[in-house]
Structure 1
Amino acid sequence: MRLRLLFASLILATALPVLHAQDLGDTCHASSSYDLTVKPDSLLFDRAQPAPFHVQVADGVLSTDGQPVRLHAEAQDRLVLFERELRALVPRVRAVADSGVDLAVRAVHEEAAGMQLAPATLAELDRRLAAHATQLKQRIAQSNSTHDWQGDAAQQLADRIVGDLAPLVAADLGQQALAAAMNGDLAEAARLRDEAADLTTQLQPRLQRRMQALRPQVQALCPSIQRLADLQQGVRGADGQPLNLVRVGP
């Protein structure tokens, strides 16, 4: 099940892997088998299987796999509201994603500061963090499709950022370990070497705890997700089956 629906994937990919706990699927119990692309004049839902593979919603007009679907008046009204409210949700999700970036930057900075890194190292770390944050926010602002974050794209992005930051911190810890060894403090030297070697493993749980501060912002989206699931009720595709573009529940 891939909850890359309704821009949940933006939140997942925003601040390295530490935001996975804030997934809308976990927090709002929402899921979908579709990917979503928001266009100026329509919403496009697509999936590999089963049919319908493509669902288009445009100002109360519904088509599935390229075939127009006749709707009664109530269903058409529901569809109009569904599209309107989903579009209204987009900037809210982007705002949460931006907050996630800011929170992650602060969390990484505070964790690094607690390691007593050299001022030059901390300054360079902050510079790189700021650059990555800017790029992430630009990507969030420009993305209109969950396909942009599909498959390994989010993990590859996270790996690239970690690959840029972790060696910088590890090198500083290594220098601290060398200095401690030269001063005869072998226990401290060993501790610092272990900390450098296990940097990512040790750091991620602490970052995850810090990122829980984002949870209330994610929870605030849940009623809107539920509203979308409710609005689609009574709207059926060409095969007479419910659309099920959004599912909420266990």
Structure 2
Amino acid sequence: MRLRLLVLLCTTLTATSLSAQEWATTCHASSSYDVTLKPSSILFDRPSPAPFHVEMQQGTLRTDGTAVPLNAEQQDRLTLFERELRALAPRVRTVAQHGLDLAVRALKEETRGMSLGADTRAELDRRLASHAATFKQRIAASNSTHDWQSDVIDQYANQIAADVLPLLANDLGQQALDAAMRGDLQTAAALRDQATGLASGLRPRLEQRMQALQPQIAALCPAITRLAELQQGVRGSNGQPLKLLHIGQ
């Protein structure tokens, strides 16, 4: 099962992401649903199996368009579920913002060891700041995990990589050419190798640096576990437990 609830935490600026498996390892949590925070209700949806749509609103519940009768305890559980999920959303956004800042800082630190020209370094900083600002606006405006499917994340990340990596490669390539023209073939070869392996070499190091975000993600685990507990005892119109979230080893 894919973890989609809170999947926006997976976003970084460099095509790295916290995978569903890592989420499962950190919080032992998974879900087959997407979630959308509407102004007056919360919607969970998935392509299969039924129920395909689960919507809750101030202690009421509808699954696949059918109202579900609830006793007082179940109503209280859903009211708390909705309240606590909405309270969790800004915390998630904060961690996502920190993730972006960490990714930008990590990329800058990784490029410090490269002999980049001052103009290239300034342009790199400008482009990263622009992309980070755009992502932060998307995070602030997003109320649905549909905005952060893996293919969407990959698309954004590829756009950023296409914007940033050639800038670095071109600078290193020009330096290699200049070194070769000076007769410094060893330096030229080293710079060419660095430019050629730029993308493949940067990614694993950046992924390692992004592990620094783990404690902030782990701090959200109790709230996720609490949501899973609140759903207990609530069934859909088909008589089956909701299972919006699954917690397990």
**TM-score normalized by the length of structure 2:** 0.96
Counterpart mapping for 1:1-250 below 5 A: 1-5=1-5, 7=6, 9-20=7-18, 24-250=23-249
Point out the more displaced range, 129-138 or 208-217.
208-217
1:25, 1:16 → 2: CA distance? Answer: 22
Instruction: Compute the displacement of 1:14 (Å).
Output: 3.4
Q: For residues 124-182 of structure 1, what are the alpha-carbon distances to aligned partners after superposition, in whole Å with 9 as ceiling and x for unaligned?
A: 00000000000000000011111111251110000000000000000011012112222
Whether the aligned pair in 1 keeps the contact of 2:13 and 2:160 (CA below 8 Å) is: no
Q: For residues 26-84 of structure 1, what are the alpha-carbon distances to aligned partners after superposition, in whole Å with 9 as ceiling and x for unaligned?
A: 42121111111100110000111111110001111011001010111111111111111
Instruction: Compute the displacement of 1:190 (Å).
Output: 1.3
- Match of 1:63, SS state, is strand
- 2:38 is aligned with what amino acid? K
Uncovered stretches (5+) of structure 1, i.e. residues with no partner: none
Structure 1 segments, 4+ long, off by >6 Å, are: none
Q: For residues 66-104 of structure 1, what are the alpha-carbon distances to aligned partners after superposition, in whole Å with 9 as ceiling and x for unaligned?
A: 101011111111111111110000000000000011111
2:114, 2:229 → 1: CA distance? Answer: 49
Percent same amino acid at aligned positions? Answer: 62
Point out the more displaced range, 9-18 or 86-95.
9-18
Instruction: Compute the displacement of 1:187 (Å).
Output: 2.1
Uncovered stretches (5+) of structure 2, i.e. residues with no partner: none
Whether the aligned pair in 1 keeps the contact of 2:15 and 2:161 (CA below 8 Å) is: no
- 2:11 is aligned with what amino acid? A
2:53, 2:12 → 1: CA distance? Answer: 27
Instruction: Compute the displacement of 1:188 (Å).
Output: 2.0
Q: How many residues align?
A: 248
- Across the aligned residues of Structure 1 and Structure 2, the Cα RMSD in angstroms comes to 1.4
